A and B are shown apart, each in its own frame.
Chain A
Amino acid sequence: TQLLEQSPQFLSIQEGENLTVYCNSSSVFSSLQWYRQEPGEGPVLLVTVVTGGEVKKLKRLTFQFGDARKDSSLHITAAQPGDTGLYLCAGTPGDNRKLIWGLGTSLAVNP
């Protein structure tokens, strides 16, 4: 069974702090997506990474895909209360089977 493990499961920080969340697997993925979900809403796509070693930036968010395409990280600089939400990673396995979802990291940024 292919799994995507996200860590930490929960994170509560103060406004202005930096943080990193991780998405790890023993399997290779042809691409990996990060989503953010706010309470009462569906997940919203943040970024897709497809190349090993790729780094993408979205304002204060930096996404990295591991060289071996088995893991990814999301780094947030100077977190703000608006960053609060559930961060989900989802990967497309190398054999192009259905999308595999992580369980998410629940982030709370306190003012």
Chain B
Amino acid sequence: DAGITQSPRHKVTETGTPVTLRCHQTENHRYMYWYRQDPGHGLRLIHYSYGVKDTDKGEVSDGYSVSRSKTEDFLLTLESATSSQTSVYFCAIRTKNLGPYTFGSGTRLTVV
């Protein structure tokens, strides 16, 4: 199984503060994704990456940025957290383009 670790698992932060979530994988997979999951909206793609320094926006990218300086790490940054960004965030990898996803265990973020 592809090893994929998200950190932290839980975080509470104040409105207006920057927050960075980390996704780490152990098997050098090329494709990595950040999703948020909210009741009534399901899984929505925030940003994705096809390789080191190769990233693109998903459907709900406003207020988020990403970086991928190493194959194994994909960072998601909330530049200035807002209450609407309270959510569960999932990182996912794909072993090949159009293949199935392997998800991390998620980060539950609360913005107060």
Contacts and interface: CB of A to CB of B under 8 A. Distances in A.
Given A98-B45, A102-B42, A40 B100 contact: no
Contacts of A48: 100
A42 B92 contact: yes
Contact of B105 (A33, A40, A99): A40
Contacts of B42: 88, 101-104
Interface residues of A, number: 21
A45 B102 contact: yes
A92 interface: yes
A78 interface: no
Contacts of B44: 101
Nearest to A47: B100
Interface of A: 30-31, 33, 35, 40-45, 48, 88, 90, 92, 96, 98-99, 101-104
12 contacts: A40-B105, A41-B105, A42-B90, A42-B92, A45-B101, A88-B42, A99-B101, A101-B42, A101-B43, A102-B42, A103-B40, A103-B41
Given A35-B101, A40-B105, A101-B42, 15 more contacts: A30-B98, A31-B98, A40-B106, A41-B106, A42-B90, A42-B92, A45-B102, A48-B100, A88-B42, A88-B43, A90-B101, A92-B98, A96-B98, A99-B101, A103-B40
